[in-house]
Amino acid sequence: MHEKKINMNLNIGIIGSGAFGTSLSLYFCNQNHKATLYTLSDHRTKPLLENRVNDKYLPHHTLPETLEIVTSIDDLEKQDIVIVALPVSAIIPFFEKHIEHFKKMSGKIILAAKGFLPHEYSTSNFIFLADYLLHRMGLNAYVLSGPNFASEIAEGKISASTLAGYDEDETLKISQALSSSYWRIYPSNDVMGVSFCGAAKNVYAIASGIAFGLDCGQNTLSALLTRSLAEMKRLGVKLGAQESTFLGLSGVGDMILTCSSTQSRNMKFGLELSKGKSVNDALKFSNGVVEGYKTCQRLFQLSQEYNVHMPIVNSIYGMLYENQDLKTAIIKITDLPLKTYENQ
């Protein structure tokens, strides 16, 4: 893949017209970049072109006429930056289908999806998208993550994110080029840690949704968040993440947002479970992909493989995949041996 020098006025392609992809398109247009939004289906493209509104995901924002909306991957080959804002499960098939186009692209690839590699692609060496793309497809990708709801990016509310990449100098340049007065994007060299935090926190958001729905109280929610961060860090560090990442935007920052707001699909999923809905019914109720559902299974497997104590993950896994009732799952979390803080 040929690298292209990053300038301040950019041609930016966004793949995926969901909530985040549409919000990114709006943001970059407002920053006077030339944005191109690639949609995967004609039925979604037509209303976007005719009405300049994404009725399903971002209904209260009009897309500017300067935003180009396309359905051909050829239109992205000369972009300075291409941001992939698709569900994790769709990304590898998409890259496999269009690999020759991606290899011809001169721009940087940024992944805006949060989650583990789907099981059929995951190995002991590759559990995240960026590693898989680099070692299996020869594509160097950066990872964008942090405490960001798409709607607030679109509204221009002050936000902050992390951009992780293997090349520190290039990561810094891209961060500077994409940042604005109200969206600050901070560089990191911890691709593993940023990827891991972005995926793992979705499981704890499910737990928070359950606790919130059961009216457990602020004491419970605070304790749950604290212990969630601790067990998330235990596994992440074993996988190779840097400890400092867990106290940054993509770690505790993203966890606080996702675990404390009903805008979060994962928290809403937990909330529906607390009402007595079955797992399948709660999944159907969610407007979009509940990444934490499949991520929980992967976290559970990794905790067993690396012998890491993760009682919260174990409890949520038991409820989602072993038909344990809510009360049993909660008892598993609360009825643990008391240890010194460092060992909890």
Q: Is 46 a catalytic residue?
A: no
Tell me if 320 sits within 8 A of 207, measured CB to CB. Answer: no
Alpha-helical regions (H) of 11-109 = 19-30, 42-51, 88-97, 99-104
Active-site option among 34, 56, 103, 201: 201
Write phi, then psi, for 93 (nearest 5 degrees): -55, -35
Tell me if 197 sits within 8 A of 145, measured CB to CB. Answer: yes
Alpha-carbon distance of 143 to 129, in angstroms, equals 9
Write phi, then psi, for 70 (nearest 5 degrees): -135, 165
Q: Is 88 helix (H, G, I), strand (E, B) or coil?
A: helix
Give the Cβ contact number of residue 187 at 10 Å: 18
Task: Please compute, for residue 9, the number of CA atoms within 13 A of its CA located in the half-sphere on the CB side.
Answer: 2
Tokens of 158: 């002050």
Residues acting as catalytic residues: 201
